[in-house]
Amino acid sequence: MTIDWQAEVDKRKGALLADLHDLLRINSERDVQHATADYPLGPGPAKALDTMLTFGRRDGFTTKNVDNVAGRIAYGSGAEILGLFAHVDVVPAGDGWQTDPYQPVIKNDRLYGRGTADDKGPAMAAYYGLKIVKDLGLSVHKQIHFIFGTDEESEWVGIHRYLKTEPTPDFGFSPDAEFPIINGEKGIASFKIDVLPPKNKISGEYTLQSFTAGIRDNMVPGTASAVITGANPGELQQRFDSFLASHPVDGTITGHGDAIQLNVTGKGAHASQPDTGINAPNYLALFLDSQPLSGHGAAFVHVISQYLAKDTDGTALRIAHHDDLMGDLTSSADLFNFSLENHQANVTINVRFPQGITAEQINRRIVQTIGANVVTSTILGTPETPHYVSGKDPLVKTLLQVYKDHTGHQGSEGIVGGGTYGRIIPRGVAFGAEMPDQESVMHQANEYIPLAELWQATAIYADAIYRLAQ
């Protein structure tokens, strides 16, 4: 049987867009501050999950909601389970949007909104791929479980809860990365570095009162602000203007009584690709480290300036590591918190590491490099270990063949620093939806997915699901 998958997608473009718009309008940022017994991760993620499962019931699939933190849309029968893994939560919208991030809009054949690329757009493409297989009445010989999590961008509570109580798929893929395939993912760990009050007095004309930046430990911060006292506004303005002229950031200075606030704007990015962003707080720290600061604030910005700023591979921290298969370690400083009043001085860095080094080794090296008398370092949560599925695995071979058949391009194995649900099972990979030549806009302001990419991905997913389910 020859199936024109793209023609089947063309018949459903309007319905797919309508469903995707409904999903994108939901602010599904993880919101534990408003958690309840019914909504453990907040009302937004639960609403997005319910919306997705409602689509499934409408279209005749079997669905299951697991404690409002995960869910399943199921089809087919057989001894084996093919798993599709997507997430309906999103990272916070952040600043810098030209449109309302939760009111999707189409401009220049691109669909803009938070979650269009990561992961609501690809999830909907995969769902309609599954729907096409069902609508056509194609025979499948495996169970197909499309599993949705609601906090992939943070702690993975939902997917872990699901796998504790529900059947674990035998193999599968996540539509949450890029084509042609991602069959290897680096390890992921975040480290909270606390800068200790200096033992020796640091004298200076200025006092740092606060320094804040970042909203998630997997997002390169695009903005940063600091408040200092004791400075001459005119003199500081002149120095700041000179600094901005020679660095790729914008900034402002405003006065508040006897305090001066400095704001810096760079460019946000996904923490797995820190070199694609412009880390605003790193540049702010570089500037402040060149000024006559005193006390704890001076020690704080000096650590950032010396060991974190302009360093995305961990060289300055002496945690750099290379693996011939997985490539280089990356390091991204993403959360900054200094408060003189509250005695807080910490930076959280997100590290994506290849096989051959562990989170524990990285943690020890951080302290050894900076000095145990200067900082402490703590591993946050449970690190993700490196994950790899052999290119010889039939799963990988099949998906690469599907990609080639639809694009005409020969695909090859791929390793990334991003973490997807593909790593949640031993024979799990990530497959699309971003095309190789497409700009990566995940976790950035003005996130979008090209409509042509959305349609092509849907056809690819339909074909891939059908082949894998034989």
pLDDT tens for residues 378-412? Answer: 999 999 999 999 999 999 999 999 999 999 999 99
- 7-34: pLDDT as tens digits: 999 999 999 999 999 999 999 999 999 9
pLDDT at 111: 98
pLDDT at 232: 84
Strand pairing report for 171-174 and 105-107:
unpaired
What span, in angstroms and rounded, lies between the C-alpha atoms of 387 and 417?
10
- Which ranges constitute the DSSP H helices of 25-106? 43-58
pLDDT at 231: 83
pLDDT at 262: 97
**Burial class for 38, CB neighbours closer than 10 Å (0-12, 13-18, 19+):** exposed
pTM for the full predicted model? 0.86
For residue 113, give both structure tokens. Answer: 């909104």
The strands making up 143-149's β-sheet, listed across from edge to edge, are: 62-66, 70-75, 143-149, 81-87, 171-174, 428-430
In contact, 19 and 55? CB cutoff 8 Å = yes
Q: Which residues of 362-380 are buried (b: 16+ CB within 10 A; e: fewer)?
A: bbebbbebbeeebbebeeb
Tell me the catalytic residues: 89, 152
Which amino acid appears at position 132 of this protein?
I
What span, in angstroms and rounded, lies between the C-alpha atoms of 398 and 23?
30
Q: Which CATH number fits domain 5-184+386-468: 3.40.50.700, 3.90.1150.10, 3.40.630.10, 3.40.50.300?
A: 3.40.630.10
* Helix 280-289 × helix 295-307 angle, to 10°: 120
Could you report the average pLDDT of every consecutive run of 10 residues in the chain (470 residues)?
Answer: 94 98 97 92 97 98 98 97 98 93 98 97 98 97 98 93 98 97 96 96 94 94 96 90 97 89 95 94 98 97 96 96 95 98 97 97 98 98 94 98 97 90 96 92 94 98 98
CATH topology of domain 188-384: Alpha-Beta Plaits (3.30.70)
| Residue with tokens 């508040």, as numbered in its chain | 256
Helix (H, G, I), strand (E, B) or coil at 100: coil
pLDDT at 154: 87
What span, in angstroms and rounded, lies between the C-alpha atoms of 226 and 125?
43
pLDDT at 256: 75
pLDDT at 104: 98
pLDDT at 233: 86
If we measure between CA atoms, which residue out of 273, 278, 217 comes closest to residue 251? Answer: 278
Q: How many helices (H) and strands (E) does the chain have?
A: 11, 26
If one counts every other C-beta atom within 10 angstroms of the C-beta of residue 416, the result is: 20
Tell me the DSSP string of 136-204.
Answer: TT---SSEEEEEEES-TTTT-HHHHHHHHHSPPPSEEEESSEESS-B-EE-EEEEEEEEEPPPSS----
In contact, 151 and 69? CB cutoff 8 Å = yes
What span, in angstroms and rounded, lies between the C-alpha atoms of 429 and 434?
14
pLDDT at 418: 79
What span, in angstroms and rounded, lies between the C-alpha atoms of 15 and 329?
42
Domain boundaries, the chain: 5-184+386-468, 188-384
